[in-house]
Amino acid sequence: MQLPARLQQVRVARTAQKRRLICQAGGKVMLEVSDLQAKVADTDKAILKGVNLTICEGESHAIMGQNGSGKSTLSRVLVGDPQYEVTGGSARFQGQDLFDLEPEERARLGLFLSFQSPIAIPGVSNIDFLRLAYNSRQKALGKPEVEPLQFYGHVMPKLDTLHIDPSWLDRSVNEGFSGGERKRNEVLQLAVLEADLAILDEIDSGLDIDALRDVATAVNGLKRGNTATLMVTHYKRLLNYIHPTHVHVMRAGQIILSGGIEVADVLENEGYEGITNLLKKEPALQTT
């Protein structure tokens, strides 16, 4: 255990986080969340209790945290899930106030969430769904919509990368898909839509070893200088494939610690107790 060294790294990261404006590789700020608070809309159950998070172009962030700490809620609130109500704080994406936008407008602006448990849409085929979504974005970008045939040409290479059988295209969205297949289907959507900020909520859960590699390859392949990724995960395994520039720990609706990959190492070796101990020893590390 070289805790002191790692601690050092954490400290560095923490300073960087505090200054906030310093983005890796000098990319400009893409998403800026400050003091975000949210509750379940039809009860008064508060879930997010002041989240701060800044993501710049070119970065890959990972959020880790125990079950029920609010990771999925944060993801869903960002894409506009009506079951949550924002009660405080702000979120800006690509220079716009996120909460002024409808979910579809956020998507057309380049925000994408791969759901932790994607739902099925019986009766709507994957190919139709993908083309509708793609054309909505095209329209928003002022580009021409594509015809079904032309669209096949766009989709086929993505299927190859993900090793997805083309017969999926004619099946209803996620209907009869296994858990892992649904996740791969989410990544297919991401690849087709080429979002700027991809939020991947536990994209690794339910994937077999080969599928995890395929998915990671696809996600890495989509990275460009002006895109960013926010991964929610429980295990370091995914981070070995998609290297994060930042790792955050969430607890009880707040990001309590931010750093680099070493945070994931602490978690891997010592679990959440390790984080607790760390913060006890170094209270200054606490981000909130």
Partner 1 sequence: MSLACKAGCLHSKSPGSAQLPTRRSFFLAKGFRLKERAAPREARQTYLAAARRSSAHRTYCQSGGGTSVSAREQGVEQADAPPSESAAPPVLPQNGAVSAAVRDSWVGHLLDTWADINASPDTPELLQELHEECGAALQSARMPNTRVESFRFTDVSSIIKSQPQVPEAAEGAARGMLSSHMLREDHELRAVIVDGCLDQGLSNLSGLPDGVYIGSIRDAPEEVVAMRLGAQATTKGTPFTQVNGALAQDVVCIVLPPGAEVTQPLHLLHIASGREQSVSLNSPRLLIILGRDAHLQILEEFCPLDSNQRECYLTNATAEFELAEASSLQHGYVNLESIAAWHVKSTLVNQAARSHYALTEANLGGRISRHDVVISQMGPETETTMRNLQVCGERQVHDLHSSLRLDHPSGRAQQLHKCIVASSTGRGVFDGNVQVNQKAQQTDAAQLSRNLLLAAKGAVFARPNLQIIADDVSCTHGCTVSDLEEDQLFYFTTRGIGAEQARKILVYSFGKEITQGFRYPKLEARLEVAVNDLLSNAGAL
Ligand X SMILES: Nc1ncnc2c1ncn2[C@@H]1O[C@H](COP(=O)(O)OP(=O)(O)OP(=O)(O)O)[C@@H](O)[C@H]1O
**265 token code pair:** 């190492």
CB contact set of 9 (below 8 Å; sequence gap of 6+): 259, 260, 262
From candidates 42, 44, 100, 102, binder to partner 1 by CB under 8 A: 102
* Residue 280 contact partner, candidates ligand X, Mg ion, partner 1, none, CB within 5 to 8 A by sort of partner: none
Q: Which is nearer to ligand X, 127 or 256 (CB)?
A: 256
Q: Which is nearer to partner 1, 27 or 103 (CB)?
A: 103
Q: Is there binding between residue 32 and partner 1 (CB under 8 A)?
A: no
Q: Is there binding between residue 283 and partner 1 (CB under 8 A)?
A: no
CB contact set of 182 (below 8 Å; sequence gap of 6+): 117, 118, 120, 174, 206
From candidates 52, 189, 227, 258, binder to partner 1 by CB under 8 A: 189
Q: Is 115 helix (H, G, I), strand (E, B) or coil?
A: coil
**159 token code pair:** 């299927």
Helix (H) or strand (E) holding 84: strand 84-93
Q: For residue 92, what are the CA distances in angstroms to 5, 19, 100, 161, 200?
A: 35, 17, 10, 32, 19
Nearest approach in angstroms of CB 63 to ligand X is: 9
Helix (H) or strand (E) holding 55: strand 46-56
Stretch that binds Mg ion, among 64-72, 103-111, 172-180, 265-273 (CB under 5 A): 64-72
**28 token code pair:** 């400009």
Residue 14's identity, in one-letter code, is: R
Q: Which is nearer to ligand X, 47 or 197 (CB)?
A: 47
From candidates 136, 161, 217, 276, binder to partner 1 by CB under 8 A: 136
**72 token code pair:** 């999925």
Whose structure tokens read 């892992």? 180
Nearest approach in angstroms of CB 194 to ligand X is: 26
Query: What are the strands of the beta sheet with 84-93, ordered from one edge?
Result: 46-56, 29-40, 84-93, 96-97
Give the count of beta carbons closer than 10 Å to the beta carbon of residue 199.
Answer: 27
* Residue 69 contact partner, candidates partner 1, Mg ion, ligand X, none, CB within 5 to 8 A by sort of partner: ligand X
Nearest approach in angstroms of CB 256 to Mg ion is: 17
Q: Is there binding between residue 124 and partner 1 (CB under 8 A)?
A: yes
Nearest approach in angstroms of CB 2 to ligand X is: 29
Q: Is there binding between residue 39 and partner 1 (CB under 8 A)?
A: no
Nearest approach in angstroms of CB 269 to partner 1 is: 36
DSSP string, 169-217: GGSEETTT--HHHHHHHHHHHHHHHT-SEEEEESTTTT--HHHHHHHHH
Chain positions contacting ligand X, by CB under 6 A: 40, 45, 47, 65, 67-73, 83, 116
Q: Is there binding between residue 116 and Mg ion (CB under 5 A)?
A: yes
Q: Is 65 helix (H, G, I), strand (E, B) or coil?
A: strand
Nearest approach in angstroms of CB 104 to partner 1 is: 4
Residue 216's identity, in one-letter code, is: A
From candidates 58, 65, 118, 260, binder to partner 1 by CB under 8 A: 118
Q: Which stretches of the chain bind Mg ion, using CB under 5 A?
A: 71-72, 116
Q: Which stretches of the chain bind partner 1, using CB under 8 A?
A: 79-83, 102-104, 106-108, 112-113, 115, 118-119, 121-124, 129, 132-133, 136-137, 140, 189, 193
